Amino acid sequence: MTEIDSPTRESIAFRSGLDVVRAVEPQVADAIAAELTDQRRSLKLIASENYASPAVLLAMGNWLSDKYAEGIAGRRFYAGCRNVDTVETLAAQHARALFGAKHAYLQPHSGIDANLVAFWAVLSQRIESPVLSRSGVRHVNDLSEADWRVLRRALGEQRMLGMSLDAGGHLTHGFRPNISGKMFEQRSYGTDPETELIDYEAVRAAARAFRPLILMAGYSAYPRLIDFRRMREIADEVDATLVVDMAHFAGLVAGKVCTGDFDPVPYAHIVTSTTHKSLRGPRGGLVLCDETFAEQVDRGCPMVLGGPLPHVMAAKAVALAEARTSGFRDYAAQVVANARALADGLARRGTRLVTGGTDNHLCLVDVSGYGLTGRQAETALLDAGIVTNRNAIPRDPQGAWYTSGIRLGTAALTTRGLGTDGMEETADLIDTVLRATVPGPGINGKPSRAAYFLAEETAARVRSRIADLLAGHPLYPEIDLDSRL
């Protein structure tokens, strides 16, 4: 075997790992391999997805998974956690240095977990003092059942003001069916009907009238930057705690694209995030805060979380180390440049974009101009090899299930190495599919918001163009699952 055709160490690692899995359950191994094939062939434009490096992926597949480690580094409820302590401490060090935060908590399993940790930290910090002073105990974990009854009664009076779902907020920002909408009396702020941008004076007026305990900022589908200095001013004016969910744009903060008033860390009391999405790490969450909330945040276990996932924290440490490099800053800048190029390419083809464009990693397309619902557009694009997700737009007449929009993000394609020229081609591919798609009749010929028709020859032509576009940007080129070991 020559040096040229010898397998890379990454190929050896992943091929060997799949062989081990296949010996026990071949269908799982086949599904894993098929997922790589599917991702290699498609244009992934889901704004909440990315591609983690082989080092990050490999850091998750190890015997750290075998350890229970409730508690925090140096204070565990289980023995034998010194290596978990090393990993968690390192991940927290990287997070503090990367974001300029005073404190970092790396145990949340997801963004929702991270938000729950933040919410309970705020509630504990605000309510603990009067309840504990009456009970004579020092910590919320020491409260009696009678004290908890007082606490629960107090919690029922707490309020959250967050961005509405159709304006681009997340379901954990007070959406009624979510636990956040049940823990708090909730109201939402939206966007200006004309510009579709956040109206900060309207947020101020809502905060003055509602007097929330938590002012929630951040988004899942808002294509602009947020002025966090102004949000902190509003929070301080009504004695609210500013919690920022930066799950979607954490990579832009890490990569120093979101700076000054657009960086939430200097202004928020607590910042939550996922570690995948634009940060390009494993699926998981984190919480950043100042010293005021550090003790309460570190009680995420047992307050909200159970045993942490040490193998995922190891992958978080690797991903955060990667994000501290100059190459990651270049990547983050290109993500935004690509999003703007994609938005411009669509706009020149007559597509309506919510807010008229983008300043971050995503754009929101109103597909009603094509005569489609978001669900019809999402499925037709998938048939042609373009992976997106349907998404509500402000004041969406189609509601949250069918929607009038699709959300597009550039983090994943930028990881593959595509630049602005690739975004121009991508815009043309999307427009080609949507123009060729027509609504279809539903059951018994009745109108349907889900049925559609896209000619297979059109879909095939688009898939062929995608193959040409991606040929120069292979996904995980260092991994060859078919190589002989």
Instruction: Report, as residue numbers or ranges, the catalytic residues.
Output: 68, 70, 245, 274, 277, 283
Torsion of CA 126, 131, 134, 139, to 10 degrees: -90
Asked whether the CA dihedral 273, 279, 285, 288 is positive or negative, the reply is: negative
Q: Which residues contact 344 (CB under 8 A, 6 or more apart)?
A: 357, 427
Q: Which residues of 229-259 are buried (b: 16+ CB within 10 A; e: fewer)?
A: ebbbebbeebebbbbbbbbbbbbbbbbebbe
Nearest partner of 437 among 406, 473, 468, judged by Cα: 406
Nearest partner of 413 among 331, 479, 351, judged by Cα: 331
Three state DSSP letters for 373-431: CHHHHHHHHHHCCEECEEECCCCCCCHHHHCCEEEEECHHHHHCCCCHHHHHHHHHHHH
Q: Which two tokens stand for residue 90?
A: 């390192």
Q: Which amino acid is at 258?
A: C
Question: How far apart are alpha carbons 411 and 45 in whole angstroms?
Answer: 8
Give, in degrees to the nearest 5, the angle at Cα 442 between 439 and 444: 140
156, burial (CB in 10 Å: exposed 0-12, middle 13-18, buried 19+):
exposed
Q: Which amino acid is at 403?
A: T
Question: How far apart are alpha carbons 432 and 452 in whole angstroms?
Answer: 15
Find out whether 386 and 439 touch, Cβ atoms under 8 Å. no
Question: How far apart are alpha carbons 431 and 384 in whole angstroms?
Answer: 12
Find out whether 169 and 188 touch, Cβ atoms under 8 Å. yes
Question: How far apart are alpha carbons 461 and 454 in whole angstroms?
Answer: 12
Find out whether 251 and 411 touch, Cβ atoms under 8 Å. yes
Q: How far is Cα of residue 140 from the mean position of the Cα atoms in its chain?
A: 31
Question: How far apart are alpha carbons 485 and 468 in whole angstroms?
Answer: 30
- Return phi, psi of residue 424, to 5°: -65, -45
